Structure 1
């Protein structure tokens, strides 16, 4: 459906006569009411999806494109100091837990290295036993010939 078709089909929408379409980053960006209203749909959206997006955008409250400046005095938050201290204490506790876990991890890695070394020693002993067995067998078999 073309933009002209959408304009005629949605004539009840205020400002639809200024409807424009732009493709960008895989989306169709629709604007109307002199660019004060907008909606985006996927690049391959159906006509119904486009119409639904426009009608849903009309139901949403308008959002200022820039933050509003507050007039008057600065605001203060009661208990902000307590919240900051509480957060600081929580972070200290987490750091202490990480440090404790680092110690546990270092011990676990040392245990793994010990196990790997023991495994290597066992392999050496098995190889030595195998060589001795071959030597014993060679005595009776004339070297396997």
Structure 2
């Protein structure tokens, strides 16, 4: 089970780092479609800032392996996925195309993948057991 968790954590770290790099480069305009119209900051700034956060979290997932830091990192990554979820909802509600999501059906279907990312982050870092230990003391 440890090997699966380690591979899962490394894979999630690589995915986040890659996504962050694309925020700053080739996917910049596509990611702007996920910034809600109502959000009070400039869409390009949000894309750049979230890209830096994703790269940081990705690198952390690739380098932090010891508990309890690993579990805490998992909680932070899961929280990040929750915080950006309104952008996915806004993309669907505002009918914005991006990354091939060019129909409301595709944009709606994508919403169901975000919870899987949260579960992935919590599972591969043993974040739940870290939280249990933290709050049971």
> Same fold by TM (over 0.5)?
no
Normalising by structure 2, we get a TM-score of 0.21
Write 1 or 2 for the structure with the bigger share of helix.
Answer: 2
